[in-house]
Structure 1
């Protein structure tokens, strides 16, 4: 272990890190309402004296950007401070038991953000001439439309980004693509005791969804194309046959499947549905699509990963990141994103969301190792 890394690891304070994590979870910060948590983090980061600025996204919403070292960093630690809305506004706060921390955003991704902030505080204890050229970016809006990262990427695009989404500390150099499809069926409202005189929009929607599911598109391995009906709602007007049904579909695509291919096949399935389902009135829109990516494992961060994981007694296992994240935006802009963070994706967005203090501390040590190793490699090149 180099003297610099040993110094930084010794400067990582588990008690301070725990406090940061618990404080962050206790600050409610759903997308669009991130100001309180950014004010908290701004105060934390301002104390170390590295250049710190707000990047306005809209109104009272802003990213936080801080840098150290010489020149414009080509590596950024990136975390999003927003969460989905609370499942229970009275029970979103942090609870710790036997080293397990539960609460809204504990995995997605306040655990990763807290680890990155602690990494930053530890790196800042190095003499200025020994500090790596690295940036820390804390963005808003990831859970909605990625407007925080989009704003950052209009101004600069680092060569590498380490994004602390929950991967159970398994590095993800590959990332699934994502598509969002909205469907609307229209019917004819009638009293529910006389359904034969109306047209049930829900029944029409169910028939459409069955045809989509039977499409050849889904005959391949399930892990290649993940299909999820996220939400369905209908008109609520009392004791009647519903005359409208709205459905939102999520599709997660392995890196080798292109969104345009999926869209073409879905359009074929929808065309067939319009021809074969009696009385169908169907509208479809492809509201969002982003391709995945797969980075070469021969890259400047690999040597550091191969060194630090045995030191932490962690298995070095590579996984694809199956959800959508700002990693897609960074890749499209020309950056190379590594997704790596504490907590598991399985519990994210649920009432069982959790991470562990051990994983969050390990993440801080990994981020420090990557920052120092990459900067040294970058300077040699």
Structure 2
């Protein structure tokens, strides 16, 4: 296997890889508008001789599926090609500054996708009888509702997937859960110069949030729960006491935490707050929840990584992925997900999003080695 791996690593072309990544970042592909980037990636794979299949997800939206080898793949490389919407970014195309490439989606996760495509281009240069049975799935919709991965799972059930979310090349066999909480408070509108005649829904909401914040669940130093008040908005009528306020809270839950227990805690605290906040009218909803998981590190995939990382001169670190990703969907469907990719989660979804190009090249080497060492039986 070492001779084959050396051959494949020699076939990895950093210049081709980095050019592909620049082209990908230069194509604006927010969730729902992924067709342009999928057409480009489809043509890239077809030029290398792949028979690329479009798996329909929605009208003018589709995943790309490509495979190698002699049998049904039990390992797929999975990457999402969509990004968040560039709401407040004046510039979101690619630019290089030294060892870094900047641009919307560079870390989340076009860097991982580019490395996966390059891994497949390198593996395709092997003779047919040396190509491992592996798959590549470039999916849509991860930043919204995961509909691309849902469509994939309706048809495919591999044993393992490797998802190229930005982990700094740390190997995440564990994954946080996710819970989205929505609160709506209602009041009574009146002219803002006469607040005593109305009921301010924003003030009620702030009191609710302060009360929730006193629960140990929201103690950042001890709880383990990672939360963020993502949105706080009120009725937009001018110069009035607002009669409605809406809040959304993101909660990222440690792998062993049951989202239902967190929901119950928040419900209980809200009911308590109604006894303390005068005339409180507040509704609570949980529109999305997903449980975390921990696969452990006793697996052929983990053992393969323990051999791969010293070979490329990198320390191997195991971690838990803190954000929500399609990994939760794959786990719930009975597929084992390893989240491992170039770039840093902390710069994703920010105006300063960037990725180290050397990590993208290293990711391509890791992906090819996993394909050969796990799916190839090495």
Q: Does structure 2 conserve the Cα–Cα contact (< 8 Å) formed by 1:223 and 1:254?
A: no
CA distance in 2, matches of 1:354, 1:226: 23
Q: What's the counterpart of residue 294 of structure 1?
A: 294
Q: What's the counterpart of residue 338 of structure 2?
A: 338
Deviations 1:154-191 (A, max 9, x none): 11211000000000011111000000011111111111
Q: What's the counterpart of residue 259 of structure 1?
A: 259
The equivalences for 1:279-358 within 5 A come to: 279-358=279-358
Structure 1 gaps of 5+ residues are none
CA distance in 2, matches of 1:316, 1:16: 26
CA distance in 1, matches of 2:79, 2:6: 25
SS at match of 1:319: strand
CA distance in 1, matches of 2:302, 2:262: 33
Q: What's the counterpart of residue 125 of structure 1?
A: 125
CA distance in 1, matches of 2:165, 2:223: 20
Moved more, 222-231 or 174-183: 222-231
Moved more, 94-103 or 211-220: 211-220
The RMSD of aligned alpha carbons is 1.3
Q: What's the counterpart of residue 52 of structure 2?
A: 52
Q: What's the counterpart of residue 134 of structure 1?
A: 134
Q: Does structure 1 conserve the Cα–Cα contact (< 8 Å) formed by 2:133 and 2:376?
A: no
* TM-aligned CA deviation for residue 376 of structure 1: 3.1
Q: What's the counterpart of residue 162 of structure 1?
A: 162
Q: What's the counterpart of residue 208 of structure 2?
A: 208
* TM-aligned CA deviation for residue 353 of structure 1: 0.7
The equivalences for 1:21-32 within 5 A come to: 21-32=21-32
* TM-aligned CA deviation for residue 3 of structure 1: 1.3
CA distance in 1, matches of 2:33, 2:120: 24
CA distance in 2, matches of 1:322, 1:302: 19
TM-score (ref. length: structure 2): 0.98
CA distance in 2, matches of 1:222, 1:288: 24
Q: What's the counterpart of residue 235 of structure 1?
A: 235
CA distance in 2, matches of 1:145, 1:354: 24
Deviations 1:192-215 (A, max 9, x none): 111111111110111111111112
SS at match of 1:173: strand
* TM-aligned CA deviation for residue 223 of structure 1: 6.1
Q: Does structure 2 conserve the Cα–Cα contact (< 8 Å) formed by 1:79 and 1:164?
A: yes
Q: Does structure 1 conserve the Cα–Cα contact (< 8 Å) formed by 2:220 and 2:226?
A: no
* TM-aligned CA deviation for residue 220 of structure 1: 7.6
Structure 2 gaps of 5+ residues are none
CA distance in 2, matches of 1:83, 1:51: 26
Deviations 1:354-381 (A, max 9, x none): 101100000000000001000233xx8x
CA distance in 1, matches of 2:372, 2:221: 40
Q: What's the counterpart of residue 226 of structure 1?
A: 226
Q: Does structure 2 conserve the Cα–Cα contact (< 8 Å) formed by 1:51 and 1:68?
A: no
Q: Does structure 2 conserve the Cα–Cα contact (< 8 Å) formed by 1:202 and 1:242?
A: yes
* TM-aligned CA deviation for residue 273 of structure 1: 1.7
**Closer/same/farther in 2, CA of residues 92 and 75 from structure 1, 3 Å limit:** same
> Between Structure 1 and Structure 2, how many residues are aligned?
378
TM-score (ref. length: structure 1): 0.97
Q: Does structure 1 conserve the Cα–Cα contact (< 8 Å) formed by 2:105 and 2:353?
A: yes
SS at match of 1:31: coil
